[in-house]
């Protein structure tokens, strides 16, 4: 089984992540849409990130808000948006509104022989928006010990929570 994670910039405005998981689509969809399951994997431990809160109203038009913390950072980071389409167990579309130029993300779950190919497709509003996301992740202004956090947060493109 090819379970390699691939990431490709497929055009000026698009980024595509793929991976095959050894489970039926409905199981993967469940882990993606139930908050108590979702928060166990979305912020990986190896990146040192923890969920401070996780609100998800997974239905078309529903909204979500995730707040992450990191021991090396005083300011938590918030990520939020809306679910545009929820079609169990094959398709989930959401916005990323913490950034004005945030992408629209589409996850598709395609089952074959009991395994599920997951494709996460990010469509940015413009070439400049995706270039900007990439550029902001390359500034390298963080000390070394913050690198993991930097990687994650700049990759996700979140903004600091104003407390």
Partner 1 sequence: MVQYITARLDASFAALSDATRRGVLERLGRSEASITELADTFHMTLTGMKKHVSVLEQAGLVATQKVGRVRTCRLGLRRLEEEAAWIEGHRRLWDARFEALDTVVEELKRKEKTDE
The residue ranges that bind partner 1 (CB under 8 A) are: 3, 5-12, 15, 17, 19, 21-23, 27-28, 30-31, 37, 40-42, 44-47, 118, 120, 134-135, 137-138, 151-152, 154-156
Cβ-based nearer residue to partner 1, 5 or 163? 5
Judged by beta carbon, residue 71 or residue 163, the one nearer partner 1 is: 71
CB 163, min distance to partner 1, A:
25
CB nearer to partner 1: give 141 or 163.
141
**Shortest distance in whole angstroms from residue 29 CB to partner 1:** 10
> Of 22 and 61, which CB lies nearer to partner 1 in the complex structure?
22
List of residues 6+ apart from 139 with CB closer than 8 A: none
């Amino acid at each position: 089984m090819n379970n390699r994670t691939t990431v490709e910039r497929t055009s000026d405005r698009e980024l595509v992540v793929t991976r095959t998981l050894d489970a039926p689509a409905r199981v993967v969809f469940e882990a993606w849409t139930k908050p108590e399951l979702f928060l166990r994997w979305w912020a990986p431990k190896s990146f040192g990130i923890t969920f401070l809160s996780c609100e998800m109203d997974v239905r078309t038009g529903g909204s979500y808000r995730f707040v992450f913390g990191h021991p090396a950072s005083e300011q938590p980071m918030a990520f939020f948006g809306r679910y545009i389409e929820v079609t169990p167990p094959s398709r989930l579309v959401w916005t990323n509104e913490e950034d004005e130029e945030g992408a629209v993300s589409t996850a598709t779950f395609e089952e074959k022989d009991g395994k599920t190919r997951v494709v996460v497709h990010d469509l940015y509003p413009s070439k400049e928006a995706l270039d900007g996301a990439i550029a902001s992740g390359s500034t390298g202004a963080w000390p070394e010990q913050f690198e993991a956090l930097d990687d994650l947060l700049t990759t996700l493109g979140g903004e600091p929570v104003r407390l």
